[in-house]
Structure 1
Amino acid sequence: MITVGADMDDSTVNEPPFFSIVMCCNRDEGYLHDAIESVLMQTYRSFEFVIVLNRCADVLYESVAALKDPRISLFRTEIGQLSFNLNLGVNQARGKYIVRFDSDDICHVDRLLESYSIIQNNPDVDILAGSCRIIDSTGSVIGTRLLGGKNWRSQIKYSNPFIHPAMVIRRDLILSSRGYLGGFQSEDYDLWIRLAKRPDVKCLFTPFPMIDYRISDSQSKGSRQAYAEVASYFLREFLMKPSFSNIVGVILSIPKVFFKSKR
């Protein structure tokens, strides 16, 4: 269990935070409380932690509800669909920036401090895309994924240029884009495709390892459904606006459903 105590008085809690960390979870594979603790241990303190539990067991809800940190805002739904629950979390959030996070990963202790510093030096940034270390089910580091200097609008047709749980996004940008719209397992990719069409969106990449990203057998990453959903997004874009660029997205995404996905 988490033993981290809060050091915020009522006046601090009532002020709108700079960051709202949004995390959704419907089951605990044994990593949830370590993930929560890594958030509560952040060196930068001006944040709220919005947790949305969906279609979860009572014991899981009760274990999180027992945490009495005033930065935590806990919600529970019976709709087991990530897009819906992310939208709920974003809607309930009060922060200027949404910090995405998943319940099986670990936040770098200076994640928010580094993010705040970067944003202060780049106040017009809409999306801050972080890098990560990759860990296995035991927490051992097995690799890294460094982001930086990429043309994400061009890359998006070839692969997902972002690490969703390592990102910071302006809340008003998500709202103006009508939130997360599609996909059971690839809701973020749909959002990136739609944002890529907006020339006003400014994205900044950083090599700072915002999280330890966990790879485990329980993940849906790389599933056939996820690849099929991405292919459907590109087909949608082509049908809405036939162009060479959009047909490239279709041509590149459909073979992945059959040859790259998990069986």
Structure 2
Amino acid sequence: MEPFVSIILPTYNRAYVLWRAIQSVLAQTEPRWELLVVDDGSTDCTQRLLEEFRDPRITSIRTENAGPSAARNAGLDRAAGDYVAYLDSDNAWRDSFLERVLSATRAHPDDVLWYCGASITFWERDATGRWRRIEHTDELRRQYSLDDVWKLKCPDTNGILHRRGIAREVGGWDEDCRWLEDWDFFVRVALRYPDRTRWVPHILVDYRQVHGEGADGLCAQAREDGEAEVTGRRYLLDKWGAHPDFDARDKLDVTPDALPKLRVKEGDE
């Protein structure tokens, strides 16, 4: 069976949680997919874990460590599906993700990118290894206009599906962008196709971030290191700040001291 959707899953040293993301793909009610797991130079047991999955729809691609955007581009180079979706290795899809989003492609065939909402949980892991929940919210998102996008509103990477060809049209994922790379990708699509992105009003993604001593992933690690996040913000400001419609300078032009770390409040568990 030819793949209908190419799923690109970049991962780096996350064998301990990668299995959950892969299992959520295997559980999809829509079976027409290929999963391209791009191992971005992991030094843990990621390759050993991947050997345990024998489904012929799963392909492992190993690259030198260059970050998630480079890994997604490597996946795009191998993608064979009509559509492309993305799943980060610490997140998971609801079983009906592909079925519902593909239904939206049939209902709105002139569009080029579709996106849904997510159930978002922030965790803190302290030096003893104890896990505590910081925050949980169900974020349905909405249909974003270009005005919204210029205020840094965008769908999360894990909830989007797009026609394969548009990634090449907009230049792929910016490999120098290490913060809000999903916004950077989406704004380029929205500029090229301002009326052809489509909101799918369902929560179909389980999204997680781990902060504190066990910070996991670029977003959480950057928040723990304020200088790193500020560098990422200023990259976007340099790239997009001169656009006449850009309306988020106050969100990007900040100092490390203005970025409070996410922590469990006193007495919370």
- TM more than 0.5: yes
Alignment match of 1:167 (pick from 144, 150, 160) = 160
Deviations 1:95-136 (A, max 9, x none): 111111111112100111111111111111211111011245
Matching residue within 171, 179, 183 for 1:178:
171
Deviation of 1:197 (Å): 2.3
- Aligned pairs for 1:59-78 (under 5 A) are 59-78=45-64
Q: CA RMSD in A?
A: 2.5
How many residues are aligned here?
A: 244
Equivalent residue, structure 2, for 1:210: 204
- The residue that corresponds to 1:233 in the other structure is 236
Counterpart-to-counterpart distance in 2, 1:189 and 1:164: 9
Give the alignment partner of residue 35 of structure 1, picking from 14, 21, 27.
21
Q: Is residue 106 from structure 1 mapped to residue 92 from structure 2 by the alignment?
A: yes
Superposed CA offset, 1:143-175 (max 9, x none): 201112332x21223233211111112110011
Give, as a single letter, the amino acid of the residue that structure 2 aligns with 1:196.
Answer: A
Decide whether the 8 Å contact of 2:230 with 2:254 is kept in 1: no
Equivalent position to 2:219, from 197, 218, 221: 221
Describe the shift of the 1:116–1:213 C-alpha distance in structure 2 as closer, same or farther (beyond 3 A): same
Letter in 2 for 1:204: R
Residue in 1 that maps onto 2:252: 253
1:259: Cα distance to partner? 1.8
Does residue 80 of the first structure (1) align with residue 71 of the second (2)?
A: no
Q: Distance in 2 between matches of 1:187 and 1:65?
A: 30
Query: Could you list the runs of 5+ residues in structure 1 that have no partner in the other structure?
Result: 1-11
Instruction: Give the TM-score normalised by the residue count of structure 1.
Output: 0.83
Cα distance in 2 for partners of 1:56, 1:116 equals 32
Query: Which amino acid is the alignment partner of residue 235 of structure 2?
Result: S
Write out aligned runs for 1:92-171 (5 A): 92-135=78-121, 142-151=136-145, 153-171=146-164
The residue number in structure 1 matching 2:267 is none
For 1:68, what is the secondary structure of its paired residue? coil
- TM-score, structure 2 length as denominator? 0.81
> Alignment partner of 2:234: what SS?
helix
8 Å Cα contact 2:30/2:99 also seen in 1 = yes
Find the residue that maps to 2:239 and give its secondary structure. helix
* TM-superposed deviation, 1:29: 6.3
Question: Percent identity at matched positions?
Answer: 21
For the Cα contact (< 8 Å) 1:127–1:167, is it kept in 2?
yes
Q: What is the alpha-carbon distance in structure 1 between the residues aligned to residue 58 and residue 170 of structure 2?
A: 26
> Relative to structure 2, which stretch is displaced further, 130-139 or 114-123?
130-139
Deviation at 1:89, TM superposition (A): 0.5
Residues 231 and 250, structure 1, Cα contact 8 Å, conserved in 2: no
Query: Which deviations, in whole Å up to 9, do the C-alpha atoms of 1:53-107 show, x marking residues without a partner?
Result: 0121252212113311101011001223222111000111111111111111121
TM-superposed CA distance for 1:30, in Å, is 2.7
Deviation at 1:251, TM superposition (A): 4.3
Shift of residue 255 of structure 1?
Answer: 2.8
Q: 1:3 aligns to what?
A: none
Offset of residue 261 of structure 1: 5.9
Counterpart residue identity of residue 127, structure 1:
L
The amino acid across from 1:47 in the alignment is W
Measure the CA separation in 2 of the matches of 1:230 and 1:193. 15
- The residue identity in structure 1 corresponding to 2:54 is K
1:31 aligns to what SS in structure 2? helix
